[in-house]
Amino acid sequence: MKKLLLLCLTAGLFLIGGSNANAQSYENAIGVRIGPYNGVNFKTFLNTNKALDLNLSVRSNDNFKRFLLTGLYEVHNPIGGAPGLLWYYGGGGSIGSYKVKNFEGDLFLSADGVLGLDYKFDGVPLNLAVDWRPRLELTPDTNFGTGDVGLAIRLTF
């Protein structure tokens, strides 16, 4: 029963995402994404509801450092009755370097997903987005991470 419900929800998302509604209210945005990974964020729409979201980010503490370039393909959909608010989903990948204290560095590769909300303020060149990004790490070790939640603050143009 759970598998059937999951299948129906997934099919519904693809059908909704396949609509070519006039979703976005800006073409490009640049700013920062704050969360477990902090860095520079750039989003550009390819058409009315499809976008590329690029991040150059870093995460470090006393034990490790990680530097990542992440690229995501996103499908945006409006939320009825909420002008300027979109929900989105998508996927992509990350490549970067990973260094653990007292060990050699290594290449980092992952397959990433994304699910989030995007809000463009009316009359102001400001965009906010909050999203969840689960990650399947492929190297240096295979590991599924439940992902991180981050906030993007961007200027639109």
Mean pLDDT score of the chain: 86
Q: Region 65-80: what's the mean pLDDT?
A: 96
Contact 154, 29 (CB under 8 A): yes
CATH number of 2-156: 2.40.160.20
Q: Region 7-21: what's the mean pLDDT?
A: 40
- The domain locations on the chain are 2-156
Q: Kindly report the CA angle at 47 between 44 and 49, in degrees rounded to 5?
A: 85
Q: What is the pTM of this model?
A: 0.81
- As a whole number of Å, the end-to-end CA separation of the chain is 46
Q: Whose CA is closest to 51, among 68, 20, 76?
A: 76
Let me know how long the chain is.
157
Contacts of 12 (CB under 8 A, 6+ apart): none
Residue 19 has pLDDT above 80, yes or no: no
Q: Region 132-142: what's the mean pLDDT?
A: 92
46 vs 141, residue with greater confidence:
46
Q: What is the largest CA-CA distance in the chain?
A: 54
The 8-class DSSP code of residue 9 comes to H
Q: Which two tokens stand for residue 19?
A: 């609509």
Q: Given this model, what pLDDT does residue 16 score?
A: 39
